[in-house]
Amino acid sequence: MADDGQFSRTLLLAVDAWRYGTRDDLQQRDLQRALGTAVRESALRSDLDPARWQRQDAGDGMFTPITDGSAEPKVIGSFVRELDEWLGRYNHDLQPQARLRLRVAVHQGVAIPAALGHAGAAPVHVCRLRDARVVRELLEVFSEANLVLAVSEEIFEGSVRPRHTSLSVKDFTRVEVAEQAKEFFATAWVHVPGVAGERVGAQLDAFAVSLSFAGTAVPPPRFFEQAVCRSFDAVGASVPEGAEASGEVLSFPVPAGLSGTVLTGTWIEHLRKNTDAQFPGIRLAAGIARAPDPAVACAEATRLAGSDAAGRLLTASTRSRLVIVVSEEVYEAVVSRGGRFVFPASYRHHEAGTGCWFRVPGHSIPPDPGPPQDQPATGAGSPSATATTYGDHSTAIGHGTFTAPFIMGDVHQHGSDR
């Protein structure tokens, strides 16, 4: 075994920079210099000795065991606070895309010196926490934040809960990290400096999806496996558990660790493509809701997907066989912030009895679903008409042009002198 496998249980720190790969060569050089300075100066201000750290650098990040037995409370408290303040000063006059923003993770365990740095389950664990999807998404969602801190359950229970650190329990939010592709599953606790824990918790509430199938009594056979599960697999998430079918509605909680931004953006896009490819002709409404209780989120998602307005939108849309319906909470906390395949301007607010937002892929703005089925379509200021169509012509009437077919008949605009 290389380096005689020295046993050392120690504190482990992993840091990585935001969007490093999108920068050019000179920007990457400057960012590496700034990252090293930020960590070193923040450590010194926290009464830590970075000269003794066995740093393992990787361009856009670093990993290091910290052998100082008294370092743990300082790293989680004053070091993170000093690092956040240093980044705030550094980023003050920079364009948003040029800022130095960090993902920071802390764990403890055995790190064995090896030929290329360190080996062991604990170094892998801390780097998996740092790179977890939920940590990345929090840094994207809270664009004002300079860093996101993730600590392992061992660190939280050993240092934070017993009040050995200047950060308290209320400063952290519990998350379940599930990285299916890497076979990594863990509980962690996250902290976003400058962002209230309630806001972080709201972003991490349980999501649920309900799919309502138009014109069919039950979901098509194998739809869950071939469309839903494949869509979650495409975004690196585990298969949803607890899916339930009731009539034409299929509901399921979203796997822990999948952010609302990925769910309403990339996942929905994969669902649309898989449905078109595997089940041509299927028309469905997808309701997306969130709540602290997964059962409550499922019930709300079912209400949204089965709403009368969603059904009328499916009928009104000629360019898409999918309608997406999100609750007010999902729109405000997730959609309004935008993201990959998440376009706030493409949603339409519908207040009448639903309190939700609609999007129809293929429409820049969803068509008007029209009045509920028990309300008349005409009234004061609404047009009524009798018409007969002939031929393939275009003709001008008033200030507008009507394209084929040619219209003959009487058009009346109530409440107007035209």
Tell me where in the chain the CATH 3.30.70.2470 domain(s) lie: 207-359
Report pTM: 0.59
pLDDT at 352: 57
Contacts for 47 with CB less than 8 Å, ≥ 6 apart: 74, 78
CA 344/CA 351 separation, integer angstroms = 17
pLDDT of residue 413: 42
- Quick one: CATH architecture of 2-203? 2-Layer Sandwich (3.30)
**CATH fold for domain 207-359:** Alpha-Beta Plaits (3.30.70)
Could you tell me the mean pLDDT of each successive run of 10 residues in the chain, 418 residues long? Answer: 60 94 90 94 96 84 90 96 97 92 96 81 94 88 93 95 93 82 86 88 83 79 93 88 84 84 93 93 92 86 90 79 91 83 89 77 80 50 37 37 39 40
Q: How high is the pLDDT of residue 270?
A: 96
Confidence (pLDDT) at 368: 75
Q: Where in the chain is the domain with CATH 3.30.70.1230?
A: 2-203
User: Who's near 210: CB < 8 A, 6+ residues apart?
Assistant: 249, 250, 251, 286, 287, 289, 298, 301, 302, 304, 305, 306
10 Å Cβ neighbour count for 22? 9
Kindly state the tokens that stand for 390. Answer: 């002939």
The pLDDT value given to residue 116: 75
Sequence-distant (≥ 6) Cβ neighbours of residue 109 within 8 angstroms: 9, 10, 12, 120, 121, 122, 123, 125, 154
Report yes or no: 253 and 297 within 8 Å, Cβ to Cβ: yes
